[in-house]
Amino acid sequence: MKIVLLGLMTAAMVFAIMVLIGNEDYLFAAVVTAVTLLVNWVYLRRGKLPAKYLAPGLIFMAIFQVYVVGYSAYIAFTNYGTMHNSDKDDAINAMLLNGQTRIDGEPIYPLTVVTDEAGELNFLVTISDDSGATQVKVAANGEVLQQVTPTEFNSLGKATAAEGYTEMPFRRIAAIQEEVVRAKLYLSDDPDSYFLMTPDASQAVVFGPRLDYDPVADTMTRVEDGTVFFDSGEGTYRSAAGEDLAPGWRVEVGLLNFERAITDPGIRGPLLRVTIWTFTFAILSVITTFILGLGLALLFNDAKLRGQRWYRVAMVLPYAFPGFLSAFVWRALYNKDYGFINVVLFGGAEIPWLTDEFLVKIAILLVNLWLGFPYMFLITTGALQSIPADLMESARIDGASAWQQLRLIKLPLLLVSVAPLLITSFAFNFNNFSLIYLLSGGGPKDFDADINVGHSDILISMVYKIAFSTGEGRDFGLASAFSILIFFIVGTISYFSFRRTKTLEDVN
Amino acid sequence: MDKELSKDELKAYKEAKAQLSNERKTTFGGWLRKKGWKHLVGWVMVVYSIFPIVYVISGSFANADQFTSTLFSSFTTDNYVDLFNDPYRPFANWFVNTLFISGTAAIGSVFLSALAAYAFSRLRFTGRRAGLLTLILVQMFPQLLALVAIYALLVNIGNVFPFLGIGSQLALIMVYLGGALGANTYLMYGFFNTIPKELDEAAKIDGATHTQIFYGIILRLAAPILAVIGLLAFIGTSSDFVLANIILTKPESKTLAVGLYMYVSDQFGQRWTIFAAGAVLAAVPIVALFLYLQKYIVSGLTGGAVKG
């Protein structure tokens, strides 16, 4: 059994290594080889039991939880993003391929779509120079134009047929339209030369490369105005005037992303505001849910109350309902024009719950109260029930009032057991991406910021939007720099909560 | 001393008894002050808790144009029919995908964590304590913090092996498995520690191998708790939005969380009732599972903190 599994895995890995070597991806291949050898070594030798039990989980954890953190840190020091997503060679090729443009000032030539004797698509171009002399040339897609003898002209002097070539009927042209407009007819053998394209199947327009690459000097020259672009060292070609060519490529940029976060006011401002709101949101969420949950627990921790069980079930429902759906449902309830809250509770008022920068925060906290109070209710009920009954009894006998019992006995005992859970709850809300993103999308958008960020965004949803929002440029480098910041905040919080709880002692 | 009550104590006892019997004969006002207000609060909370849920259920049976103001004002099952007949939003696929992805990830992560927890609980080796500490530490940092790197890593892998790159459900499952050890091992380690070591020792003396002990004794005895942890992992992954959203790209390979987002992210109103039908179908299994597991969830939540 073990041998069969191991064999299958090794076979798959060997196949992977072959593919990787075929792709000349030696680093990746080396890593896969090392993992394969390690796994075989662990399982084939005798002994080393712990490793045999730990290896499968550790491999996955090493890749998708530990390595990715290190990789985040690396990306934070690069300019990886939409405009910089590949290496330099790819970027140069992309620039040369996409950089073809219509050359201004070149004449437009009359063109006829024709078929040769074999029925193949060809293009007949009538080229007249300044002196009035006319040449008629023909070519198929991707070929160099060759001179032919014209046989027919129309009233405007355009050649419509030539020896061996006949005009294609309009209906056929319409059927192969795409092929026609994509065709390139070269003016000379030089692959960098100008070429003709026809946007409408009756005229030919001169196209040419927008950029000229000089591999020796490593510069790009823009053909139309002769501007020279040099490798800026930041993953782009840049002109003396500071203009960058797109796309760029991926390079390490050192602390640039962190520098931007600190010095660029269009980023620093939003970052600071988002950080403050993240803390406010997490702290207020914990406090409000805890107070409501505790109040209800005190109220319903009464075995004599009839129907207590049913109240409990109903109150646990928000917690049982899948969180992502709750966010969607509340989003609908809050809708400005159709939402139940505005239409029914506020009699048709158009309160912009999710689009006003202040109201959206209230709305989010109210939803999180709904989502979170059942958890607090459950854990405080549990903690209350675990307070010894004789303790409460002796307090009563000593004449403590209900308030004194709560403040002096129940609360302190409760907090001892619940405090670690409150910290966990804080940490969870600190990164409560789903609620924010699915409820308000982080909106309303902050138009003063240089990055895509909204007024209700928390740090993690801001990271997501910078890295993945469609429509705006993706900036993985900056997003990773921000996630490193979150790591430090979460790490600090965990460190202090670790010191205060006894989890560590349990391990010993 | 405590054989007999003194006269004073006897008197106090009688007074207390009289007071208690007085309280039994309460007026309505008295009842309201003592118990009724609790019921009042209870009812308010019940309405607050279940209203959004009732609203979705009502919406799922409403005609598309009259869902906002009154609950259950119209009744139609069209929304459920439409839900399954939208080629651009293949709900049935999403449902199956969610079951497949979350199911595989849950089973896989329980198995991986059980293996590791067994090693930590039963075997003694150097680095054991450091390993446990690392697990607790890793637990603190949710995977979603590294989502940019996860995305970039999968792009790189996908350049060579497209079936494991962005857009692949297998890749998503692997990412979930990466979070398995951190999430469950420590919890399981605790449960395995409660299984008496004498059992394995007896088995060892009878000639059982370590695999026989693991599969035959530990996994057997911990099966109920493993099932609970697995179901909780299932609930957790099936609610994940962000990783599934960046990794799954094609409409037919999405999960419920990502797919249903397509309904709400567009213009509200036109498709709300269909979304509501989808939400009801998506929520029913999870809510049922949750209520069924409630006592385990509560004890799991508080197990570490509230030891009674």
Does residue A486 contact residue A463 with C-beta atoms inside 8 Å? yes
**Number of CB atoms found within 10 A of residue B226's CB:** 22
Contact A64 B174 (CB under 8 A): yes
A75-104: string of b/e by CB count within 10 Å (b at 16+)? bbbbbbbebbbeeeeebbeebbeebbeeee
Rounded (10°) CA dihedral A317, A319, A324, A329:
40
> Cα distance from B44 to chain A (closest Cα, Å)?
10
Bridge-based pairing state of the strands A159-162 and A166-167:
unpaired
> Cα distance from A225 to chain B (closest Cα, Å)?
38
Q: Give the separation between CA A241 and CA A225, rounded to whole angstroms.
A: 13
Question: Cβ neighbours of residue A98 under 8 Å, at least 6 residues apart?
Answer: none
Q: Give the separation between CA A364 and CA A378, rounded to whole angstroms.
A: 22
pLDDT of residue B305: 32
Diameter over CA atoms, chain B: 92
Name which of B188, B171, B214, B175 is nearest B113 in CA terms.
Answer: B188
Instruction: Name the one residue in this structure whose structure tokens are 């394995």.
Output: B200
Does residue A154 contact residue A117 with C-beta atoms inside 8 Å? no
What are A302-317's pLDDT values in tens digits? 777 777 888 888 888 8
**Number of CB atoms found within 10 A of residue B295's CB:** 10
A296-325: string of b/e by CB count within 10 Å (b at 16+)? bbbbbbeeeeeebeebbebbbbbbbbbbbb
Backbone φ and ψ of A222, nearest 5° = -80, 125
The mean predicted confidence, pLDDT, of chain B is 83
* Amino acid sitting at position B20: L
pLDDT of residue B78: 85
Question: Cβ neighbours of residue A451 under 8 Å, at least 6 residues apart?
Answer: A266, A267, A270, A462, A466, A475, A478
pLDDT tops 70 at residue B26 = no
Average pLDDT over residues B122-129: 87
For an interface test with B, give the residue of A15, A25, A52, A65 to mutate (most B CBs within 10 A): A65
Diameter over CA atoms, chain A: 120
Contact B45 A494 (CB under 8 A): no
Residues 354-373 of A with CB under 8 A from B: 370
State the 10-residue block means of pLDDT for chain A, 508 residues long.
84 86 80 88 82 87 87 87 76 73 78 86 84 82 84 82 85 82 80 77 81 79 78 79 77 83 87 94 96 91 78 87 90 83 82 88 94 90 85 86 85 83 87 91 83 90 87 82 90 78 52
**Residue of B132, B161, B238 with shortest CB distance to A16:** B161
Bridge-based pairing state of the strands A211-214 and A109-115:
unpaired
ipTM entry: 0.82
Peptide bond into A56 cis (omega under 30): no
pLDDT of residue B269: 59
Q: In a 3-state reduction of DSSP, which class is residue B226?
A: helix
Name which of B222, B247, B239 is nearest B286 in CA terms.
Answer: B239
A-B C-beta contacts closer than 8 Å: 284
Question: A100: part of which helix (H) or strand (E)?
Answer: strand A100-102
Q: Give the separation between CA A448 and CA A388, rounded to whole angstroms.
A: 57
pLDDT tops 90 at residue B244 = yes
Instruction: Name the one residue in this structure whose structure tokens are 């997003």.
Output: A479
Beta bridge partners, A197, equal A205
Provide the pLDDT confidence category of residue B307 given band limits of 50, 70 and 90. Answer: very low
Name which of A464, A497, A502, A501 is nearest A482 in CA terms.
Answer: A464
Percent of chain A that is helix, strand, coil (3-state, to 5): 55, 15, 30
Does residue A113 contact residue A201 with C-beta atoms inside 8 Å? yes
Whether B62 contacts chain A with CB within 8 A:
no
DSSP A302: -
Residues of A with Cβ-Cβ distance to B137 under 8 angstroms: 494
Contact B148 A479 (CB under 8 A): yes
Provide the pLDDT confidence category of residue B116 given band limits of 50, 70 and 90. Answer: very high
State the pTM of this model. Answer: 0.79
Q: Give the separation between CA A311 and CA B41, rounded to whole angstroms.
A: 10
Question: Cβ neighbours of residue A101 under 8 Å, at least 6 residues apart?
Answer: A207, A208, A209, A210, A224
